[in-house]
């Protein structure tokens, strides 16, 4: 780029990868800024996780009014915790309202992003052979996206219906049949509670039990929705409810201090929930985890313990030997006969934008840089990958709070980091290697001491066993996003 061009304010050209919650957010923000952008989405419609996940019982465990963009409150929620379908509709309506659909191209898989250091641009290649040039790439490609199939022998031998929770197929039979659900994360728990009502028998295969946080669920009435429509301040009052935010701050304090009062308080709530809700002592002990509360992502449920005490539900803790034509063979030799098998076995949480091939300065491959585990400076940027940003990238905050709020704060950070490029003061920006190394060392040291590292398996752990998470408080995260450390960035 010529020197004299650099001195002028300029309108950047952006490519956004992914049309889920974070990609729609970036699109809306760029539209407001009046910048040129294209959003590429490989599926045929937007919605990300809320498009992919359609399993029975799907709800979001963040209160609905807190699970919206801050600039787009929504009066129409039917329940305190919204269903997945309602949330998908919310994103569709919002994208339409903010007129960003015209910038989205569906059925377009981004297969490569290649940095041209000479021209300070990204060349973005699509599966259909097209190549598009952009000054800035934002990867809004999701976290829990690539499914994990369980490493259990005989999956292909099963003669009944078999489906992964994130690839739900409406043809799968679940009414008046015997259904087995493998997996005991948020997903497995929600499916069990839903199918208990329709299946003749439900067997919940639990490799590890989970702590369950009791939460209320209730319907909003027509009158309440009408009141929300007339007075959005009522929505703000729910969204900004001090109790809700206090619970987030308490939760992140608990995560950081495994010996602290906050974690003990959460532990007691979950233990009381188990002890007071499950009457059969044998079942109660089957359901009792042997690790600290919060080590795995907490399950929020108002109905799981009730569901597993119904006569048509069995909790199976015996290990699985293999799958056979008629069902699941346990390690003790027993065969559990089933008509349908649901695999609620989670996701490969370390993929991020991969398998897209991302090549930074000097052809450096992101896949190589991310061996053995993905990292990012403050979860957003990567040295040697200029003008490349991630929403909900590696080591961001995780917990039972809104990823929308996280993405909005990350976008504010990105805007600030981009400002000198818009002003024409620079054509490229990336964090320095040293700043990233220093950050990552501090982060990993702190992460090892969090409850996530206190002795359990979970998708929070990276390939080396270190929690791949934001290890400090939510307030620390909010402050970091509001005030980028510009000294860590190299502008050129
Ligand atoms: P997950 O939390 O990773 O749980 C996977 C489950 O599958 C675990 O119970 C795991 O057992 C089990 N599993 C994996 N391989 C197995 C095998 N070979 N044999 C037996 N069991 C096996 O996945 P998820 O439930 O889909 O949830 C992932 C994340 O999605 C959640 O943590 C949450 O962030 C998000 N989510 C959110 C909501 C919401 O309401 N907002 C709802 C659903 C999901 P082990 O524990 O023993 O490894």
Question: Which tens digit of pLDDT belongs to each residue from 401-453?
Answer: 899 999 999 999 999 999 999 999 999 999 999 999 999 999 999 999 999 99
* 123, 236: one domain: no
**Last residue within a domain, chosen from 294, 319, 343:** 343
Contact partners, residue 106, CB within 8 Å, separation at least 6: 19, 41, 43, 44, 45, 46
Strand runs labelled E in 280-383 = 299-301, 313-316, 320-324, 327-330, 335-337, 340-343, 357-359
Concatenated DSSP letters of 382-433 = -TT-TTEEESS-TT---SSS-HHHHHHHHHHHHHHHHHHHHTTS-S-EEE-H
> Does 400 lie in the same domain as 297?
no
Distances (CA, A) of 325 to 144, 149, 207, 341: 30, 18, 21, 11
Which of 346, 405, 465 should be mutated for ligand 1, with most atoms under 8 A from CB?
346
Residues 354 and 421 in one domain: yes
pLDDT greater than 50 at residue 70: yes
CA of 230 to the centre of ligand 1 (A): 40
Residues 242 and 176 placed together within one structural domain of the fold:
yes
CA distances from 3 to 117, 356, 426 (A): 15, 33, 10
Q: What is the CATH number of the domain that holds 253?
A: 3.50.50.60
Ligand 1 proximity of 144 Cβ (cutoff 6 Å) = yes
Let me know whether 294 and 357 are in one domain: no
142 lines ligand 1 (CB under 6 A): no
- List pLDDT tens digits, range 140-149: 999 999 999 9
Q: Is 111 in the pocket of ligand 1 (CB under 6 A)?
A: no
Nearest protein Cα to ligand 1, atom 37 = 186
Whether ligand 1 lies within 6 angstroms of the CB of 185 is answered as: yes
Residue 351 has pLDDT above 70, yes or no: yes
Q: Which residue has the tokens 């398998």?
A: 355
Whether residue 269 has pLDDT greater than 70: yes
Predicted pLDDT at 245: 87
For residue 2, what pLDDT is reported? Answer: 44
81 Cα nearest atom in ligand 1:
40
**Ligand 1 neighbourhood includes 164 CB (under 6 angstroms):** no
Strand, helix or coil at 64? helix
Over residues 293-314, the pLDDT tens digits come to 999 999 999 999 999 999 999 9
338/385 same-domain check: no
Distance in angstroms (rounded) separating the CA atoms of residues 139 and 376: 12
Give 157-215 as a DSSP string: G--SEEEEGGG--TTS--TTSEEEEE--SHHHHHHHHHHTTT-SEEEEE-SS---EEE-
Domain that holds residue 256: 155-343
- What is the distance in A from the centroid of ligand 1 to the CA of 148? 9
Residue 254 token pair: 């608990």
Kindly state if the Cβ of 180 falls inside 6 Å of ligand 1. no
pLDDT tens for each residue of 197-223:
999 999 999 999 999 999 999 999 999
Q: Which pLDDT value is given to residue 8?
A: 80
Last residue in a domain, options 343, 374, 402? 343
- CA 299 to ligand 1 centroid distance, Å: 10
Over the chain, what is the mean pLDDT? 96
Tell me the pLDDT band of 249, cut-offs 50, 70 and 90. confident
pLDDT confidence of residue 398: 87
- 189 with 299, same domain: the answer is yes
Average pLDDT value for residue range 256-269:
94
Spatial separation of the C-alpha atoms in residues 149 and 75, rounded to whole Å: 38
**Are residue 372 and residue 296 in the same domain, yes or no?**
no
Q: What is residue 45's predicted lDDT score, i.e. its pLDDT?
A: 96
The pLDDT of 45-50, averaged and rounded, is: 96
Answer whether residue 1 shows pLDDT above 90. Answer: no
Instruction: Measure 170 CA to ligand 1 centroid, in angstroms.
Output: 21
In percent, the amount of the chain with pLDDT more than 90 equals 94
DSSP 280-296: -HHHHHHT--SS-TTSS
Handedness of CA 24, 29, 32, 37 (dihedral sign): negative
The finding on whether 53 has its CB within 6 A of some atom of ligand 1 is no
| One domain, residues 64 and 205 | no
Contact 201, 327 (CB under 8 A): no
User: How many separate domains does the chain show?
Assistant: 2
Judgement on whether residues 125 and 141 belong to the same structural domain of the protein: yes
Q: Does the beta carbon of 182 sit less than 6 angstroms from any atom of ligand 1?
A: yes
Cα(347) to ligand 1 centroid in Å equals 7
The answer to whether residues 478 and 410 touch, using CB atoms and an 8 Å cutoff, is no
Q: Is any atom of ligand 1 closer than 6 Å to the C-beta of 395?
A: no
- Average pLDDT over every residue of 328-345: 98
In the reported structure, the alpha carbon of residue 271 is separated from the centroid of ligand 1 by a whole-number distance in angstroms of: 21
Domain end (from 343, 366, 382): 343
pLDDT tens readout for residues 367-376: 999 999 999 9
Cα distance between residue 457 and residue 30, in whole Å: 39
Give pLDDT, residue 7.
Answer: 64
End-to-end CA gap in the chain: 11
Task: Report residue 106's pLDDT band, with 50, 70 and 90 as the boundaries.
Answer: very high
- Mean pLDDT score, 482-486: 98
The number of angstroms, rounded, from the C-alpha of 69 to the middle of its chain's C-alpha atoms is 16
CB-ligand 1 contact for 181 (6 Å cutoff): no
CA 293/CA 272 separation, integer angstroms: 12
Specify whether 420 is located in the same domain as 374.
yes
For residues 69 and 172, state if they share a domain.
no
Sequence-distant (≥ 6) Cβ neighbours of residue 417 within 8 angstroms: 380, 381, 389, 429, 484, 486, 489
């Amino acid at each position: 780029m010529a020197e004299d061009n650099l001195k002028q304010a300029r309108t950047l050209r952006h490519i956004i990868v992914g049309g889920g919650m974070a990609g729609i957010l970036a699109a809306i923000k760029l539209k407001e800024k009046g910048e040129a952008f294209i959003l590429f989405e490989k599926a045929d419609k937007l919605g990300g996780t809320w498009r992919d996940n359609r399993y029975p019982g799907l709800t979001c465990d963040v209160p609905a009014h807190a699970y919206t963009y801050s600039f787009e409150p929504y009066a129409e929620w039917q329940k305190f915790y919204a269903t997945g379908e309602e949330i998908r509709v919310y994103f569709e309506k919002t994208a339409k309202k903010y007129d960003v659909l015209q910038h989205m191209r569906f059925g377009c898989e981004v297969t490569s992003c290649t940095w041209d250091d000479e021209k300070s641009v990204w060349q973005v290649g699509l599966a259909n052979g097209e190549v598009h040039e952009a000054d800035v790439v934002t990867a809004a490609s999701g976290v829990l996206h690539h499914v994990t199939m369980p490493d259990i022998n005989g999956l292909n031998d099963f003669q009944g219906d078999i489906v992964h929770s994130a690839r739900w197929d409406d043809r799968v039979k679940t009414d008046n049949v015997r259904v087995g659900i493998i997996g005991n994360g948020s997903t497995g728990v929600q499916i069990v509670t839903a199918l208990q009502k329709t299946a003749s028998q439900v067997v919940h295969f639990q490799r590890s039990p989970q702590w369950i946080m009791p939460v209320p669920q209730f319907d909003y009435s027509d009158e309440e929705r009408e009141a929300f429509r007339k007075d959005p301040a009522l929505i703000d009052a729910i969204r900004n409810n001090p109790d809700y935010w206090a619970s987030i701050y308490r939760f992140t304090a608990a995560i950081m201090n495994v010996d602290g009062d906050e974690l003990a308080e959460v532990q007691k709530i979950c233990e009381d929930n188990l002890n007071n809700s499950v009457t059969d002592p044998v079942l109660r002990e089957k359901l009792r985890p042997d690790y600290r509360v919060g080590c795995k992502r907490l399950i929020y449920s108002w109905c799981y313990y009730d569901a597993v005490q119904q006569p048509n539900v069995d909790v199976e803790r015996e290990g699985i030997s293999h799958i056979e034509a008629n069902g699941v063979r346990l390690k003790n030799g027993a065969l559990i006969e089933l008509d349908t098998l649901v695999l609620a076995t989670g996701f490969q949480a370390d993929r991020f934008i991969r398998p897209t091939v991302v090549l930074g300065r000097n052809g450096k491959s992101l896949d190589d840089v991310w061996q053995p585990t993905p990292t990012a400076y403050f979860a957003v940027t990567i040295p040697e990958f200029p003008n490349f940003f991630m929403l909900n990238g590696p080591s961001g905050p995780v917990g039972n709070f809104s990823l929308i709020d996280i993405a909005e704060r990350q976008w504010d950070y990105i805007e600030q980091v981009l400002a000198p490029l818009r002003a024409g003061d620079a054509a490229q920006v990336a964090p320095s290697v040293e700043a990233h190394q220093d950050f990552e060392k501090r982060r990993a040291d702190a992460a090892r001491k969090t409850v996530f590292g206190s002795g359990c398996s979970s998708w929070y752990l990276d390939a080396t066993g270190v929690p791949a998470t934001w290890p400090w408080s939510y307030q620390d995260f909010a402050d970091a996003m509001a005030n980028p450390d510009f000294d860590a960035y190299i502008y050129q």
